[in-house]
């Protein structure tokens, strides 16, 4: 028998609209003075009328569609009543029984996990407004900044379908990426655009994985996790804590709410669900119901290519390894760069005279070689140079056209790896063209056999001891001699040619 973790997430994503959910105030993202982006509506003064932000509805529906949800034909807003200083109306406008989206799912890949692929059910997604922000000052006072109050949110509730902290983290990261692809949120956890509550319980399973006893047990809800690391650590801690309770025959009897204490590295009890507020939901009388069918049909046609589809396409079309495709597609701008680079490269490939009228399999093989070259040069080599210079694909001076040309120089052996790195560095310096750099800095491969033969002879006569040892049977010294010739050519010789020339020379001596 084993304890199986059962985990469900509730996620809030701040929508990147220009104005708030129900008024014309600018949404608060950059540093502005507290309580400047406010008006009678978002301050909850009597007699005002909220007006729904159409862009927020579209953004929320796009998310619902991206999560494979059914979009409600009829939806409405409700009042969720509770009293707290961050909520001036003493109710939050949210959605209760008719959310904009229900019954979706997202497939995640969990490399090295117990399940390689997991389908996570989406219970619902609904629109609501954010609360203001409390600042608990030292001493007894609490200050409230209402700038955030009324910012549009979409809340996404998953089924309890996760079986590990890792699965939950991967799902959240995928959700962040989906939001970015849709352009509806930056979904930056550090900035509070993406916030997560994790619900965790355990259940007993037998050795065949069959559930023993209750299908679901009382859960703990860990509130306000604001980084991927916290989500993972809090769930792991909660699994350990509850396992101990089960092992001592005292499993949780009621659902509770806990908080994550990052300094103590543990979850802490906040309140039990039995005492939780009764929100007395009722329909918001000031906002007409939403009729969403036509808009849903329109938005379905406008859905961009989503990360999972793009990753699969990059693997198929560009012959990228799954891990490389993932790395590239994690950054939409990097993915655009790669896409542009390959379209140049494939155009170049198809136009090559020697590839005219060849079989498709030959072309495929060449495309695979280009895929490996681009992955190697872009992700490891250029990636390393960018890190050294603290810049990224957004700020670097290399265009996809120039990068594609650079790859063709490598692919046709006009540049070897050593010289290639020098060219790449020079391209980063001023954005210039790789062929020009190669010529002006004389970095092109030394193809002139005469020059190479001279270098080979020089190296042999300068290293009589090593040559003697090689001839006495120390084969590994060949590598040393190749290295010496390469150095003499300042890295521009082709090491294969050098090797052959050395072998011939050493034999004939």
Residues that bind ligand ADP (CB under 6 A): 6-10, 157-160, 199-201, 216-217, 219, 221
42 or 202, CB closer to ligand ADP?
Answer: 202
Smallest distance from the beta carbon of 254 to ligand ADP, in angstroms?
A: 11
Residue 188 interacting entry, from ligand ADP, Zn ion, none, C-beta within 5 to 8 Å by type: none
Beta carbon of residue 67, minimum distance to ligand ADP (angstroms, whole number): 14
The rounded distance, in Å, linking the Cα atoms of 203 and 215 is: 7
Binding partner selected for residue 125 from Zn ion, ligand ADP, none, CB under the kind-specific 5 to 8 Å limit: none
Among residues 13, 21, 23, 338, which is the contact residue for Zn ion, using CB under 5 A? 23
Residue 230 binds: one of Zn ion, ligand ADP, none (C-beta under 5 to 8 A by kind): none
Q: Tell me whether residue 24 or residue 483 sits nearer to Zn ion (CB atom).
A: 24
Decide which of Zn ion, ligand ADP, none touches 39; Cβ closer than 5 to 8 Å per partner kind: Zn ion
Going through 86-166 in order, the beta strands assigned E by DSSP cover 91-94, 101-109, 117-129, 133-136, 142-145, 152-158
Which of 9, 42, 110, 375: binder of Zn ion (CB under 5 A)? Answer: 42
CB within 8 Å of 10: residues ≥ 6 apart: 155, 156, 157, 158, 196, 197, 199, 221
By CB under 5 A, tell whether 290 contacts Zn ion: no
Kind of pairing, strands 256-261 and 220-225?
A: parallel
What's the DSSP call for residue 144? E
The Cα 225–Cα 199 span in angstroms is: 11
Residue closer to Zn ion, measured from CB, 52 or 102:
52
Nearer to ligand ADP, 276 or 355 (CB): 276
Strands (E), 15-73: 70-71
Q: Does 39 bind Zn ion (CB under 5 A)?
A: yes
Q: In this complex, which beta carbon is closest to ligand ADP, that of residue 223 or of residue 469?
A: 223
Question: Which of Zn ion, ligand ADP, none does 25 bind, CB closer than 5 to 8 A by kind?
Answer: Zn ion
Helix (H, G, I), strand (E, B) or coil at 334: helix
Cα dihedral 498, 503, 508, 509 sign: positive
Q: Does residue 86 contact residue 35 with C-beta atoms inside 8 Å?
A: no
> Which residues in 441-500 contact Zn ion (CB under 5 A)?
none
Q: CA–CA separation, 172 vs 485, rounded Å?
A: 53
- 3-state SS, residue 79: strand
Smaller CB distance to ligand ADP: residue 122 or 306?
A: 122
Q: Which is nearer to ligand ADP, 9 or 125 (CB)?
A: 9
The answer for 438, left when phi > 0, alpha when psi is -120 to 50, beta otherwise, is: alpha
What end-to-end distance do the CA atoms of the chain give, in Å? 75
Q: How far is the CB of 147 from Zn ion (least distance, A)?
A: 10
199: partner contacted, choices ligand ADP, Zn ion, none (Cβ within 5-8 A by kind): ligand ADP
Is residue 25 at the binding interface for Zn ion, with CB under 5 A as the rule?
A: yes
CB of 10 to ligand ADP, least distance (A): 5
Q: Which stretch binds Zn ion (CB under 5 A): 23-31, 139-147, 209-217, 285-293?
A: 23-31
Q: Locate the DSSP E strands across 287-412.
A: 290-291
Which one of ligand ADP, Zn ion, none interacts with residue 56, CB within 5 to 8 A by kind? none
Q: Give which of 384, 424, 419 is closest to 406, Cα–Cα.
A: 424
- Closest approach, Cβ 417 to ligand ADP, in A, equals 50
Distances in Å between the Cα of 394 and the Cα atoms of 194, 336, 389 are 23, 11, 13
Report the 10 Å Cβ neighbour count for 483. Answer: 13
Nearer to Zn ion, 41 or 484 (CB): 41
- Shortest gap between Cβ of 133 and Zn ion (angstroms)? 15
Report DSSP state, residue 168: H
Q: Which parts of this chain interact with Zn ion (CB under 5 A)?
A: 23, 25, 39, 41-42
């Amino acid at each position: 028998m084993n304890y199986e973790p059962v985990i469900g997430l509730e996620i809030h994503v701040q929508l990147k609209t220009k104005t708030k959910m129900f008024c014309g105030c600018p949404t608060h993202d950059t540093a502005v003075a507290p309580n400047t982006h406010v008006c009678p509506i978002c301050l909850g003064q009597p007699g005002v009328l909220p007006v729904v932000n159409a862009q927020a509805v579209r953004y929320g529906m796009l998310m619902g569609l991206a999560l494979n949800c059914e979009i409600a034909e009829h939806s409405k807003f409700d009042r969720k009543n509770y009293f707290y200083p961050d909520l001036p109306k003493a109710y939050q406008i949210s959605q209760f029984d008719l959310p904009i989206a229900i019954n979706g799912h997202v497939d995640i890949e969990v490399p090295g996990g117990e399940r390689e692929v997991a389908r996570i059910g989406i219970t619902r997604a609904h629109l609501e407004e954010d609360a203001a922000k409390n600042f608990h000052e030292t001493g007894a006072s609490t200050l409230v900044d209402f700038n955030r109050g009324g910012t549009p949110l979409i809340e996404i509730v998953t089924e309890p379908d996760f079986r590990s902290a890792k699965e939950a983290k991967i799902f959240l990261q995928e959700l962040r990426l989906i939001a970015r692809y849709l352009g509806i949120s930056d979904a930056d956890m550090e900035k509070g655009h993406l916030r997560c509550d994790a619900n965790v319980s355990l259940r007993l399973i037998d050795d065949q994985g069959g559930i023993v006893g209750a299908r679901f047990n009382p859960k703990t809800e860990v509130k306000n996790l604001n980084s991927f690391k916290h989500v993972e650590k809090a769930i792991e801690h909660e699994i350990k804590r509850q396992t101990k309770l089960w092992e001592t025959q005292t499993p949780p009897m009621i659902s509770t709410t806990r908080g994550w204490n990052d300094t103590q590295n543990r979850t802490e009890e906040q309140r039990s669900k039995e005492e939780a507020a009764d929100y007395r939901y009722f329909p918001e009388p000031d906002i007409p119901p939403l009729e969403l069918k036509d808009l849903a049909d329109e938005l379905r046609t406008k859905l961009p290519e989503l990360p999972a589809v793009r990753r699969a396409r990059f693997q198929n079309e560009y012959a990228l390894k799954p891990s490389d495709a993932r790395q590239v597609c994690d950054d939409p701008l990097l993915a655009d760069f790669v896409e542009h680079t390959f379209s140049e490269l494939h155009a170049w490939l198809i136009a090559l005279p020697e590839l005219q009228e060849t079989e498709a399999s030959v072309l495929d093989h060449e495309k695979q070689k280009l895929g490996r070259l681009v992955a190697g040069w872009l992700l490891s080599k250029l990636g390393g140079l960018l890190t050294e210079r603290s810049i990224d694909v957004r700020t670097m001076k290399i265009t996809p056209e120039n990068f594609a040309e650079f790859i063709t120089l490598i692919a046709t052996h006009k540049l070897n790896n050593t010289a290639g790195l020098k060219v790449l560095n020079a391209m980063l310096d001023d954005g210039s063209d790789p062929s020009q750099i190669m010529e002006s800095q004389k970095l092109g491969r030394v193809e002139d056999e005469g020059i190479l033969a001279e270098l080979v002879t020089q190296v042999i006569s300068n290293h009589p001891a090593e040559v003697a040892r090689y001839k006495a049977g120390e084969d590994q010294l060949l590598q040393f001699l190749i290295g010496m010739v390469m150095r003499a050519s300042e890295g521009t010789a082709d090491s294969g040619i050098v090797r052959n020339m050395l072998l011939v020379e050493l034999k004939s001596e």
